[in-house]
Structure formats: C-alpha cells, structure tokens
Amino acid sequence: MENALGQPQTIVLLGGTSDIGLAIVRQLLSPTTSTVVLACRDTERGERAAAGLRHHSVTIEVVPFEATATDTHVEFAASLVEKHGDIDVAIVAFSLLGDGEVTSVDVAAAVGISEVNFTGVVSSTIAIANQMRQQGHGSIVMLSSVAGERVRRANPVYGATKAGIDGFAQGLGDSLTDDGVHMLIVRPGFVVSQMTTGLKASPFATTPEKVADATVKGLRARRRTVWVPGILRYVFSALRHLPGPVWRRLPLG
C-alpha cells in the first residue's frame, strides 16, 4: 500500500533496463520502499541495473520477462503478487525504437516491433491491471511518447505503436478509475538515453531524470497525463492541426 506521501512500497518495472524506467524507480525510492522488481528480457543487464540501485535498503529482484510471450503474462502478474504482495506502482517502460527506414519497408521487422511495443504492452498491462483491480488500489505508469501524438514519416511503426498504447491506456485508465487504480500516461519528447544513442536530438530534448521527476509529480497529484517537457503539450496541439502536406515536409528527424 502506498502511503499518504505517495511513497510506494512495491514497484514493478516492466522493461527493467529502460533508462527512463530506472530513473522513475530511483525517484520513487524512499525509506518506505520495500521491493523493486525489474522485469526484463536480458536479465544479465537487469542485474547490472539492479546493482546501480542497491545502495538503497530495498529488496531488488530481477525476473525474466518476455513481452512477446503473451501467454505467460497472466501467470507472471499473479506470481508477482504472490511473492511480494500488493503492487503499488507498475511502470510499463519497454519498447523498441527500430530503424524507421527499415521498419517502413521490412514486414518482419515491422511486425516484430509491433508485437513488443503494442501487443506485449497491452497484454502485460491488462494482466497487471487485473491484479490491481483485486487489491482496490495501485498506479500504472504508461510510457507513451509524443511520437504517437502525430505519427511521423521517419518512423511510422514506432509512432503508431505509441499512438496505439496511448489510446489503449486512456481507455483502460478510465475503466480502472472506479476500481481505485490510477493510470498515468507519460508523453516525453526526445529523451537522451541508450535508446536514442547515435540519433540527433530533436528540439525540446529532455533527460530520463526530468521525465522521472515529472512522472513522480504526476503520480502524487493523480494526473492522467504528463508531457515532458511540459511545453510539448502546446507544441503538439499546434502540430496536430497542421495540414497534411505541411506536416509531411517538416524536417522532424
């Protein structure tokens, strides 16, 4: 059970090696935190990430998690609760960026990214949400992206999966409200992280720490969405209404 200060006891990070996800975990850590579960495909990298969190006096567990193995997700969520009790905060942070030039033309690559970023997110989020429904409380952080706000020609598959999970999280979040479960959708702009290594930073680039800061504030205030940086909300409300031919020609990476 999260305490009155918005400090969770049990935190689950899906995408246990995600820079943004780990930054959010670090920001949430407090003397109240008892357990952090890092769920990831590459458990060796997960262990290294765990080592970076270990100076806090919490139990950190790295567990294998495969986004595309959707038939394991229900049992995965149940096993978390069985082992650690109520899940206070679950952060859904895994996704693949892919190379837009490849995924735009390569069917197999496009399907691969869609299955992780969309199907895997939908499946694992519902599995965790069902556990939270039964406990009558809990928060889910959905790492969306401004890339889903209006999908760019440069990376249509990635953008579309983010648009998809953003819409999914809005609807699921509304359905969870009466069950006491809070869904926070986080829409960062370009984040300087391992995922974007080698890419040219877009305007309004931000960092995992700034995303984490805004996320934790959003959780405590029980907001539905946060944009990082905040100005992107207004930038995209303009971009969303640009005529198609103009949008298509914009040099947006």
Partner 1 sequence: MSNPARARLWGWGRTNPSIADEVTVAASGLAATLKETGPRGALARGLGRSYGDAAQNGGGLVVRLAAGPGDIVLDSANGRVTVGAGVSIDELLRIIVPHGFFVPVTPGTRFVTIGGAIASDIHGKNHHIDGSIGNHVESITMMLADGSTTVIGPNSNASLFWATIGGMGLTGVMIDATIRLLPIETSRMCIDTSRVPDLDALFATMSCGDDDVRYSVAWIDLVAKGRNLGRSVLSRGDHARLTDLDARDAVAPFSYGPHQLVAVPPLVPPMGVLNHASVAAFNEAWFRRAPVRRVGEIQGIGAFFHPLDLVGSWNRLYGSRGMVQYQFVVPFGEEDAMRTVVERLSASGAASFLAVLKRFGAANPAPLSFPEAGWTLALDLPGASRGLGDLLHGLDRVVLDAAGRHYFAKDSHMTPEAVRRGYPRLEEWKAVRQAVDPLGVWQSDLGRRLGLI
Helix (H) or strand (E) holding 111: helix 107-114
Task: Note whether 31 binds partner 1 by CB under 8 A.
Answer: yes
- Complete DSSP assignment for 12-70: EEESTT-HHHHHHHHHH--TT--EEEEEES-HHHHHHHHHHHTTSSSEEEEEE--TT-G
32 near partner 1, rule: CB under 8 A: yes
Residue 203, both tokens: 């305007």
Angstrom distances, CA of residue 110 to CA of 16, 155, 195: 23, 10, 17
Site for partner 1 in 168-197 (CB under 8 A): 178-180
Count CB neighbours of 241 within 10 A.
9
Q: Which helix (H) or strand (E) holds 166?
A: helix 156-177
In the complex, least distance from residue 240 CB atom to partner 1, rounded to whole angstroms: 28
Choose between 5 and 238: whose C-beta lies nearer to partner 1: 5
Stretch that binds partner 1, among 27-35, 44-52, 97-105, 196-204 (CB under 8 A): 27-35
Structure tokens at 74: 């229900």
Please name every residue paired with 64 in a beta bridge, in sequence order, or none if there are none: 40
Q: Is 158 a catalytic residue?
A: yes
Under 8 Å between Cβ of 187 and 145? yes
**Which residue type, as a one-letter code, is found at position 239?**
L
Tell the smallest beta-carbon distance from residue 76 to partner 1 (Å). Answer: 19
Q: How many CA atoms lie within 13 A of 199 on its CB side?
A: 20
Among 45, 66, 74, 85, contact with partner 1 (rule: CB under 8 A): 85
- Minimum CB separation of residue 130 from partner 1 in Å reads 12
Binding mask 143-172 for partner 1 (x = CB under 8 A): ------------------------------
Q: Which of residues 40 and 176 has its CB atom nearest to partner 1 in the complex? A: 176
CB of 1 to partner 1, least distance (A): 4
| In the block, residue with structure tokens 């969520």 | 77
130 contributes a contact to partner 1 by CB under 8 A: no
Residue 3, interface with partner 1 (CB under 8 A)? Answer: yes
DSSP class of residue 191 equals B
Smallest gap from Cβ 83 to partner 1, in A, equals 15
The answer to the question of residue 30 lying near partner 1 (CB under 8 A) is yes
User: Which listed residue (158, 168, 190, 227) is catalytic?
Assistant: 158
The count of residues in the chain is 253
Among 199, 201, 221, 242, binds partner 1 (CB under 8 A): 221
Active-site amino acid positions: 158
Contact positions vs partner 1 (CB under 8 A):
1-7, 9, 30-32, 34, 85-86, 133-137, 178-180, 220-221
